[in-house]
Amino acid sequence: MARTVFLRGKEEIEAIRAAAMLVARTLGRLGSEVRPGVTTATLDQLAEAFIRDHGGRPAFKGYRGFPASICASINDEVVHGIPGPRRLAEGDIVGIDVGVEMDGFYGDSAITFPVGRVSDEATRLLQVTREALARGVAQAKAGNRVGDISHAVQSYVEGQGFAVVRSLVGHGIGRQMHEEPQVPNYGTPERGPRLMAGQVVAIEPMVNAGVPEVMTQPDGWTVVTKDGRLSAHFEHTVAVGQEGPDILSRVDAP
């Protein structure tokens, strides 16, 4: 298989930004609906309508047979949860992952939301995972290597007493949802593929409160923690710049 890393020109970056900003707006819309009693199927229907109303296509729907427009992963579910009749309950955390294709370009972003009041551990897990993403993103500049992103995420998370998931990784993104290179959440500084200006990557720490090991449920999709403890996931689509990162999946982007 060809291992091609694509460098995008200005117009292509703006096309990816348009898709990624629709992802960000969708997440914002869903965030205002997250509350006890809401089903994840309702969130999925809202997301699909919102994405289509704004000229996009939900990229996850039908991807390798995935049946929905969002992934909704509750508590010990790490990623790839299938929306359904389960109602969110006070104290849950729910990771919502959204992908959009628009005009042939892809955006991908995720946020884990607290449902009502959550435990101190859940609050800290969300803070640490969000900060791990910020630290990974900060390394997305030309001349660095993928290992600089990976190490920034891993060293921060482990320093806070949590664990990074190793069997699932971030990825290049652009004309396809998943492109080269892989962007692991663990690694060694100054190792791995060189980052170049114009590269676009999805950086997505998945952080477990307990052990790093995960397993897939019999539905073939839902990834859960092996010890049943909480997991959180945050993700941004980011263009690697000469001077630093350009977060494309942000509503306040230019």
**Three-state SS sequence of 7-26:** CCCHHHHHHHHHHHHHHHHH
147 vs 131: CA distance, rounded Å: 18
**Least separation, in Å, of the C-beta of 24 and Mg ion?**
12
**Chain centre distance of CA 27:** 11
| Residues in contact with Mg ion, shown as a per-residue x/- string from 17 to 46 under the rule CB under 5 A | ------------------------------
By three-state DSSP, how is residue 150 classified?
helix
- Give the β-pairing of 236-240 and 105-114: unpaired
Nearer Cβ to Mg ion (18/72)? 72
Would you count residue 179 as binding Mg ion (CB under 5 A)?
A: no
Return the residues of window 191-210 that contact Mg ion according to CB under 5 A: 202
Q: How far is the CB of 161 from Mg ion (least distance, A)?
A: 25
Site string for Mg ion, 218-237 (x = CB under 5 A): -----------------x--
Closest CA to 95 of 227, 224, 238, 228: 224
Instruction: State yes or no: residue 108 binds Mg ion (CB under 5 A).
Output: yes
Match 């699909």 to its residue by tokens: 48
Query: Considering CB under 5 A, how many residues would be counted as binding Mg ion?
Result: 5
Give 97 or 246: the residue with its C-beta nearer to Mg ion.
97
Question: Which positions touch Mg ion (CB under 5 A)?
Answer: 97, 108, 110, 202, 235
